Amino acid sequence: MQINPSEVTKILKEQIKKFGENAEVSEVGQVLSVGDGIARIYGLTNVQSGELVEFENGLKAIVLNLEEDNVGVVLLGPSKGIKEGDIVKRNSKKGEFYGCSNYPKCNFISKYRPVNKKCPECGYLMAKRTYRKKDVYECIKCKYREEV
């Protein structure tokens, strides 16, 4: 079997052209320590206090303590599956979200402000938001929508 350099060059050029098309840029860090519902994370250099971060297992946490070489986060759930070396991802630059003040009995988290309205399908809270250029009420749990 002969290797044709022009074919190899063509394939490499196509792969280079497609490189990074579906790349997702996110800032990540690693767990230094965890205990009593608090974790120390190294590597989240651009995170701000109040932002939401997410662990590999899906557990979310709120950034509260910013130090020079690490950040302290409050876990929004049990720390059972979190260990030293786990990856933590910064979710957004703004990190704005709404949560229940009755945590841990209630683990409600949403990026939309809830309104005093119940979903007719599942009975959960609804939030007012813009969807396809229209104001709608949307269920935070089942995504049921109705126009305002």
User: Is 0.85 topped by the overall pTM?
Assistant: no
Sequence-distant (6+) residues with CB within 8 A of 30 are: 41, 42, 43, 85, 86, 87, 88
The verdict on 117 and 54 lying in the same domain is no
The verdict on 116 and 57 lying in the same domain is no
Looking at the chain, the whole-number percentage of residues with pLDDT higher than 90 is: 11
CATH of the domain at 76: 2.40.30.20
The verdict on 139 and 75 lying in the same domain is no
| The predicted structure's pLDDT at residue 74 | 93
Q: Residue 24: which pLDDT band, with cuts at 50, 70 and 90? A: very low
Per the structure block, which two tokens stand in for 15? 């792969």
Per the structure block, which two tokens stand in for 81? 């599956």
The verdict on 130 and 73 lying in the same domain is no
Quote the Cα angle for 21-24-26, to 5°.
155
The verdict on 44 and 102 lying in the same domain is yes
Q: Is the pLDDT of residue 98 over 80?
A: no
Query: Domain residues for 60?
Result: 28-107
As a whole number, the mean pLDDT across the chain is: 79
Higher pLDDT pick, 30 / 112: 30
Residue 15 lies in a domain: no
The verdict on 69 and 92 lying in the same domain is yes
Number of domains, the chain: 2
How many Å apart are CA 28 and CA 46, to the nearest integer? 10
Q: Residue 115: which pLDDT band, with cuts at 50, 70 and 90? A: confident
The verdict on 103 and 126 lying in the same domain is no
User: If we measure between CA atoms, which residue out of 74, 41, 128 comes closest to residue 138?
Assistant: 128
The verdict on 32 and 103 lying in the same domain is yes
Residue 37 lies in a domain: yes
**CA dihedral (85, 25, 128, 119) positive or negative:** negative
How many Å apart are CA 109 and CA 97, to the nearest integer? 7
Please provide residue 13's backbone torsions phi and psi, each rounded to the nearest 5 degrees. -65, -40
Higher pLDDT pick, 25 / 12: 12
The verdict on 88 and 123 lying in the same domain is no
The verdict on 34 and 102 lying in the same domain is yes
How many Å apart are CA 79 and CA 11, to the nearest integer? 47
